[in-house]
Amino acid sequence: MGAQLSEAAEFTELESAAMVAALGAAREGFRGANPLVGAAVLTADGQIVTGHHGGAGTPHAEVDAITTAHDLDIDLSTSTLFVTLEPCAHHGRTGPCTEAIIAAEIPSVVFASPDPNPLAAGGGSILAEAGLTVRSGLHEEDSRALNARWVRSMTEARPFVTAKIAQSLDGAVAASDGTSQWITSAESRVHAHEVRSRVDAILVGTGTALADDPRLNARNHDGIALDDQPRPVVLGNSDLPVTSFLALNPNTLHLPTHDVREALDQLHAAGVRHLLVEGGPTVLGAFFTAGVVDEVFCYQAPMLIGPGRSSVEGLDIGTLQDALHLVPDDTETPAVSRLGPDFLLHFATADPEPAATGSPESGT
C-alpha cells in the first residue's frame, strides 16, 4: 500500500530553501498558455539543482531538474524533488511528470500548491499510491501568486492575454500626422518578434490593419519569417482591402465585432490559448477595460512627440482612485531592462476579484 499524501507537514530551513530555489527557477519561464513552474532536486548532502518549464512543448520543470541531476551524476534515490505546482498526471504535448518521477526512483516529493486544473490534477495522489512520500503546502501562497493571472484566464476559459505597447516618453504611439515608424528601436522590435514567436495569435483592430497593412508574423533576428507562425486576427467590422497582406493570408481570422468577451470566446473555440494584442490604442483600451489583460510589455522610447495619439484610449477613468494598477513582473527578464536606447517595462495586471468558475482546460 502506498504512502499517504501529507498536506499539513513541517519543513526544515533547507527544504524551504529548495522550494525558494524552485520558485526562482519558475520565473525563468515565459508567461502565457502554461503556468510558470520550477523544480529543485535536494540531495542528501544538501546540494540543490533546479529546472523550469520553458514553454509549450518543452520538458516540464520536473523533467528538466531530473535531467540536470542525471548530468551531474546525482543519486536521485536519496534525494527529494521540490515542485512549485503539483506534478501533472496527464498526457499533453509531453508525458505525465508523475511517470518521469517514478521512473527516476525519487523517493520523496514536495509540491507547493495543488494543480487547479482538473484535467491535470491528481499527481500527488498518484505518486503517493506508488509508494513515494508526498508532502504539499510549502510556500503555497508564493506559488499561487506566481500564476494568479494564468489561473484566472484558465478559469474563464479564455486565452491568456498579453498586451504590447510601443510608445514615446510622453505616451504616444504616433505623431499628430499619423507617422509611427519607428518610435522604438531595432532592438525593441527584435524582442517584440520573440514574444510574437511564442503566442498562438496576434490581434489588431481594423483601424491598425487599414493604416499599417501589417503582416502580423514572427521573424528572426535577420528579418526572415519563422516556420511556425501565430494566427493573425483582426477585430472590427470594416472589410480589409483584398490586396492587403492580412486579406491575402488564408490563416487570418477576421472577427466582425467590438465585443472583447465575444472575441475571446471565439478565439478560445478556435484553439487560441495565448493572445498578443498589439493595438491600436482603442483596441488596447477595450481589452484593459474588459479586465482581461494578464501581461504587458511596454517598449519605452527616449523620444518626445508632443500632440499625437495616446498609446491607450477609451479608458473611462475620471479619478486617480479608479486607475488600473500594474505590477512589475520579473519573470523572464527584470521588470525593467534596456533594449538599445529603449527601456522594456514588463508588467502583470493586478489580480482582480476571483472570477466565476468556468470550465478549466489543460495549461500544458
Interaxial angle between packed helices 13-26 and 61-71, expressed in degrees from 0 to 180 and rounded to the nearest 10? 110
CA–CA separation, 42 and 45 (whole Å): 8
How much of the chain is in helix, strand and coil states, percent to nearest 5?
Answer: 30, 25, 50
- Catalytic: which of 62, 86, 156, 295? 62
CB 39 within 8 A of CB 84: yes
The three cell numbers locating residue 1: 500500500
The three cell numbers locating residue 68: 540536470
The three cell numbers locating residue 75: 543519486
What is the number of other CB atoms lying within 10 angstroms of the CB of residue 71?
A: 9
Distance of CA 225 to the CA centre of its chain: 23
Answer yes or no: 141 catalytic: no
The three cell numbers locating residue 17: 530553501
CA–CA separation, 274 and 230 (whole Å): 10
DSSP codes, 66-123: HHHHHHTT--GGG-EEEEEEPPP-S-SSS--HHHHHHHTT--EEEEEE--S-TTT--H
CB 49 within 8 A of CB 70: no
CA–CA separation, 146 and 291 (whole Å): 18
CA–CA separation, 312 and 200 (whole Å): 23
Catalytic positions: 62
